[in-house]
């Protein structure tokens, strides 16, 4: 079964081709670049450059053919940083709860999942086990491109299925927005409002779908976009298979028992042995 989760490449992860068995990573980022190529007919080239900058700013997801799909994660899949190479994302106290009474859900800081994705793929120009150049990669994704001045933000909410329910998917909700420079809200206020709304939206989907979630993980990113700049805010959750050399001894089953730090140490040891 583990072969379904493994890439054809040793050093590159790969967009998943199977319908239900894959890995999922979470990325939320925002970036801005100078306006350089706009003219009176189009500003599309600068928009592409801003998107590319966001695509690699926090987690390296460059040079891929991104195919946007809907936002559910199969119960037969593994979430990187949670099910595999656990980042400890659920070990801290919840930031807050949403809902009421016995139906309320704890909401945890999802930033460790983004950090785990960066540890796997790399960040910026640093590459570790990135997605293969040119791979067709399905991803739950949303982005917004705007010129400054102002602030662009992005956030995700990951609704986790109860572990005992194997006939239910986990859910990814995405939100992107632009805050004009005249808006008085602070970054702290924006982050709180957006993260609370994203978490509540997970509950709304649960009610619409007639399902329930065990917890919500949410993460946020923003960037200032100055006059003369164009920015992009991005959420991208790729469905992929794992580079062969990213597998520890013992394969996927070993990864299920490993923390992220253990995996990084084993990868460093394996690299030192090869060197």
Condensed to tens digits (0 to 9), the pLDDT of residues 5-21 reads 999 999 999 999 887 89
Q: What is the DSSP letter of 227?
A: T
Dist CA 206 CA 194 (whole Å): 19
Q: Give all domains of the chain, ordered by start, each with its CATH number.
A: 2-261 (3.50.20.10)
The residue behind tokens 């299920």 is: 256
Q: Is the pLDDT of residue 102 over 70?
A: no
Q: Is the pLDDT of residue 164 over 90?
A: no
- The fraction of the chain above a pLDDT of 70, given in percent, is 97
Dist CA 246 CA 21 (whole Å): 17
């Amino acid at each position: 079964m583990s072969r379904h989760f493994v890439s054809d490449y040793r050093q590159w992860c790969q967009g998943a081709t199977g319908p239900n068995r894959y890995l999922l990573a979470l990325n939320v980022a925002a970036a801005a670049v100078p306006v350089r190529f706009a003219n009176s007919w189009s500003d599309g080239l600068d928009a592409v450059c801003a998107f590319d900058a966001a695509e690699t700013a926090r987690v390296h997801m460059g040079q891929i053919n991104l195919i946007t799909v809907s936002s559910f994660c199969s119960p037969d899949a593994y979430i990187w940083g949670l099910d595999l190479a656990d980042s400890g994302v659920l070990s801290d106290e919840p930031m807050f709860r949403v809902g009421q009474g016995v139906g309320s859900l704890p909401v945890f800081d999802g930033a460790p999942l983004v950090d785990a994705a960066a540890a796997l793929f790399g960040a910026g120009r640093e590459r570790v086990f990135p997605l293969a150049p040119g791979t067709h990669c399905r991803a739950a994704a949303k982005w917004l491109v705007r010129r400054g001045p102002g602030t662009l933000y992005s956030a995700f909410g990951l609704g986790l299925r109860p572990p005992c329910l194997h006939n239910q998917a986990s859910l990814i909700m995405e939100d992107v927005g632009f805050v004009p420079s005249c808006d008085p809200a602070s970054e702290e206020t924006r982050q709180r409002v957006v993260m609370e709304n994203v978490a509540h939206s997970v509950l709304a989907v649960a009610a619409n779908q007639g399902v329930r979630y065990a917890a919500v993980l949410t993460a946020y990113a923003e960037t200032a976009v100055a006059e003369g700049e164009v920015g992009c805010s991005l959420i991208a959750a790729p469905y992929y298979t794992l580079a062969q050399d990213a597998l520890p001894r013992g394969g996927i089953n070993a990864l299920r028992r490993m923390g992220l730090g253990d995996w990084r140490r084993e990868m460093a040891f394996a690299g030192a042995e090869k060197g």
